[in-house]
Amino acid sequence: MDNVLRFKLLRKDYGDNYTRGSLYLNGSNDLWCSTLERDKNSGMLIPAKLYKVILTMSNRFKRLLPLLVNVPNMEGIRIHVGNTYKDSTGCILVGDLTSKDFISNSKVTENKLVDLMKTSKDISIDIVA
């Protein structure tokens, strides 16, 4: 349980309604998964910086999900399943990029992420604009 997980979310495309990114793990240049968030003008885009991540039970989703700690002016910011920006109220959606504003295989990706995070008590995500 001493596995250290360092994720890097590199935001790559800012659309009218979405922000598309790539998630990398522990300094690797290999894509771990794609991400989708709200657009920068929505007021729901997580500020770019380093965050501690903990795995907790989500009251809304009724399952263990990653929670970003101390997000400025936001609460309950998680990494979870979703396909379009409409599935996020500020959270990070994970999956495989299908088009510029749609990700697929989100449930499979979320499950892999949660299983990986269960092996660590030291998790962080560095969000880079």
What pTM, to 2 d.p., does this model score? 0.95
Report the Cα–Cα distance between both ends of the chain, in Å, rounded. Answer: 31
Range of the domain at 39: 4-128
The whole-number mean pLDDT for each consecutive block of 10 residues of the chain, a chain of 129 residues, reads 88 95 96 96 95 97 97 96 95 94 97 96 96
pLDDT of residue 2: 60
Domain count, the chain: 1
pLDDT recorded at residue 97: 87
